Amino acid sequence: MSQIHTLTMPKWGLSMTEGRVDAWLKEEGQAITKGDEVMDVETDKISSSVEAPFSGILRRQIARQDETLAVGALLGIVVDGEASDAEIDALIEQFQSSFVPGDAADEDSGPKPQKVELDGRVIRFFERGEGGTPLLLVHGFGGDLNNWLFNHQALAAGRRVIALDLPGHGESAKTLQRGDLDELSGVVLALLDHLDINAVHLVGHSMGGAVSLNAARLMPQRVRSLTLIGSAGLGAQINGSYLKGFVEAANRNALKPQLVQLFSNAELVNRQMLDDMLKYKRLEGVDAALLQLSATLFADGRQQVDLREVVQAGHVPTLVIWGSDDAIIPAAHSDGLSAQVQVLPGQGHMVQMEAAEQVNQLILGFIEQH
């Protein structure tokens, strides 16, 4: 039985409303396997590739190079099996006549971020998906829940997945008390309490890895598994000049050389990313929060907390993912760990964004075993 699939413009992140087609990576008539990169698309946040959610033959390229299309717009037709040109034409006509571009404010545009007061402090979080043991995504220093925009939807295909803004970050309250890992991990555990989640898979990136490790140290019975991506807390070394430069940067020219160090592809650091980061850094309380965290966790350009024993004790199954070319925290910190370790060649610190498909597959394969 043949199936005619519509390939549409994906939605990456809460604010994405449209994307511009950079290039097709597959030709008409070419076979496509589920997960293949089919085209490159640029948004106002970042450039990425559209992956095929199904297998078949690319029968039509609808979207043209340099065309800007709304989220949900028709990009192409993939057929699994046999279908006549007339059948394909009819489907395209039906799709295009009924397609209405969504408005960012539409109620039906998907789940919205929520805010909750935890211990007198407002915390923003976002969730999608249902079923299974929930998974919680914890971002790194200077990041927010949008650091997971290429992961959240894929991970939520079969389970509930939550991402939060840690205190001092994103749209959560900026005030910190001690600025230590116990405070940040306490917020993670308080959010789980608020959501009535007793057991969780934790996925942490960079500083968020140390926060996740520390949550597992405090409450091992609640953590079903740990996935640590370019994680802090596993060794003393860290790029202190990056941290100092990032905290002090007050304009685009000062910020760009810092952000470029996060990625293996420097072109991803576009004007919009710089503007968004500067807008965050200029919010009241952000400077103080970043300085406090940096002074507490990474004083003198060294990591102050060693949590390797959490992994080595073996109480919580752990997956460690690292980019081989991480310029912020060395991949060598994964050496000798009692964990499943995957070092991705040529990748940098933001590996969950630059190698999203590979990272998503690794996480899903791991948590399905636990």
The region that residue 35 occupies, defined by phi over 0 for left and psi between -120 and 50 for alpha, beta otherwise, is left
Indicate whether 276 pLDDT > 60: yes
3-state class (DSSP) for residue 354: helix
- Report the pLDDT averaged over residues 287-316: 96
Share the mean pLDDT of the chain.
92
For tokens 């072109």, the residue is 267
Task: Give pLDDT tens digits for 141-179.
Answer: 999 999 998 999 899 988 999 999 999 999 999 999 999
CA distance 1 to 94: 21
Indicate whether 108 pLDDT > 70: no
pTM above 0.95, yes or no: no
Confidence of residue 35 (pLDDT cuts 50, 70, 90): confident
CA distance 329 to 332: 9
Proportion of the chain in helix, strand, coil states, percent, rounded to 5: 35, 25, 45
- Report the pLDDT averaged over residues 241-258: 96
The CA-CA-CA angle for residues 346, 241, 342, to 5°, reads 30
How far CA 325 is from CA of 137, 259, 277, 349, 354, in Å, comes to: 23, 15, 23, 8, 12
- pLDDT at position 338: 96
